[in-house]
Amino acid sequence: MVSTVTETVAASAEVLDDRVVAGICAALESVLETEVPDLGPETRLADAGLDSTGVLELLMQLEEALGIEFDAENLEMSHFESVGSLARFVSAEMAA
């Protein structure tokens, strides 16, 4: 029974990650106003064309799309290295 609960929690976290990654990818393409080929968790945000102004716009779009509000004190440059690193940060913020 315990393993079933653990598997269910792990599966829920995976679904959340997929939803967050999809939200980040959609918001990133919207901010960049272009389709980014092969966009996924390993995509580096700077390589995709995101600059400092775009970061702010991306955060605003994610807040609106995911219904969360980011605390500026929790933001670090490392969160914006890749789609995956941003997804981990967003997921953690959503769980808090």
Among the listed residues 9, 11, 22, the one whose alpha carbon sits nearest the alpha carbon of residue 84: 22
- Residue at 85: amino acid letter: S
pLDDT (tens digit per residue) in 4-23: 433 433 444 444 488 899 99
pLDDT (tens digit per residue) in 33-42: 999 999 999 9
Q: How many domains does the chain have?
A: 1
- Which residue range(s) make up the domain with 13? 2-95
- Residue at 42: amino acid letter: E
* Domain at 23, CATH number: 1.10.1200.10
The overall pTM is greater than 0.75? yes
The pLDDT of residue 17 is 81
Report the percent of the chain where pLDDT is more than 70. 83
